[in-house]
Structure 1
Amino acid sequence: MRLFEAIDVHADGLKRAALTTGPLARVPNCPKWTVHDLVTHIAFVHGFAIGLAVNRPVKPAPPQDWDDVLGWWDGQRLALREALSHDPAAPAFSPYPGFESTVGDWTRRMAHETAIHRLDAESALDDVPRTRFSPEFANDGIDEFLTYLTPRLGNKADVRVTTPERTWTVGEPGAEVAGAADDVYRALWGRPHQASVTGDLAPLAAP
Structure 2
Amino acid sequence: MDAPRLLACLADEYGLFRAAASAAPDAAPVPSCPGWTAADLVAHITEVYLHKAETMLRGEWPTPWPPDLSGEEPFAVLDRAYAELMAEFAARAPDDHALTWYEPDQSVGFWIRRMAQETVIHRVDAELAAGLPVTPAADDLALDGVDEGLKVMLAHEFAHYPESFAEALRPDLKGAIAVVGGERAWLVRATPTEITVADETADRAVEQARTVVSGAPDELLRWVWGRGGEVSVTGDPEQVTYLRRLLSLATQ
Q: Do they superpose with TM above 0.5?
A: yes
Pick from 34, 38, 41: which aligns with 1:35?
38
Structure 1 stretch displaced more, 105-114 or 15-24: 15-24
Q: How many matched pairs?
A: 204
Contact 1:43 1:62 in 2 (8 A): no
Q: Residue 204 of structure 1 aligns with which residue? A: 247
Contact 2:223 2:229 in 1 (8 A): yes
Pick from 61, 69, 73: which aligns with 2:67?
61
Shift of 1:140: 1.1
Q: How far apart, in 2, do the equivalents of 1:51 and 1:95 lie?
A: 15
Q: Give 1:123-134 correspondences, 5 Å limit.
A: 123-126=128-131, 128-134=132-138
Shift of 1:176: 4.3
Contact 2:127 2:134 in 1 (8 A): no
Pair 1:146–1:63, CA change in 2 (3 A): same
Contact 1:56 1:93 in 2 (8 A): yes
Q: Give 1:7-156 correspondences, 5 Å limit.
A: 7-54=10-57, 55-58=59-62, 59-61=65-67, 63-64=69-70, 68-85=73-90, 86-96=92-102, 98-126=103-131, 128-154=132-158
- Aligned residue for 1:56, secondary structure, equals coil
User: Identity percentage over the alignment?
Assistant: 31
Contact 1:47 1:60 in 2 (8 A): no
Q: How far apart, in 2, do the equivalents of 1:53 and 1:90 lie?
A: 10
Q: Residue 194 of structure 1 aligns with which residue? A: 230
Shift of 1:74: 1.1
Q: How far apart, in 2, do the equivalents of 1:170 and 1:62 lie?
A: 42
Q: Residue 168 of structure 1 aligns with which residue? A: 186
- The RMSD of aligned alpha carbons is 2.4
Q: Which amino acid aligns with 1:73?
A: L
Shift of 1:10: 1.2
Q: How far apart, in 1, do the equivalents of 2:228 and 2:247 lie?
A: 16
- Aligned residue for 1:84, secondary structure, equals helix
Matched, 1:177 2:213: yes
Q: Which amino acid aligns with 1:52?
A: T
Pair 1:25–1:94, CA change in 2 (3 A): same
Q: How far apart, in 1, do the equivalents of 2:217 and 2:56 lie?
A: 28
Give 1 or 2 for the bigger CA radius of gyration: 2
Q: How far apart, in 1, do the equivalents of 2:113 and 2:229 lie?
A: 22
Q: Residue 201 of structure 2 aligns with which residue? A: none
Contact 1:89 1:104 in 2 (8 A): yes
Name the one with the larger helix percent. 2
Q: Residue 199 of structure 2 aligns with which residue? A: none
Q: How far apart, in 2, do the equivalents of 1:188 and 1:40 lie?
A: 24
- Aligned residue for 2:179, secondary structure, equals strand
Structure 2 residue runs of 5 or longer lacking an equivalent are 170-175, 191-208
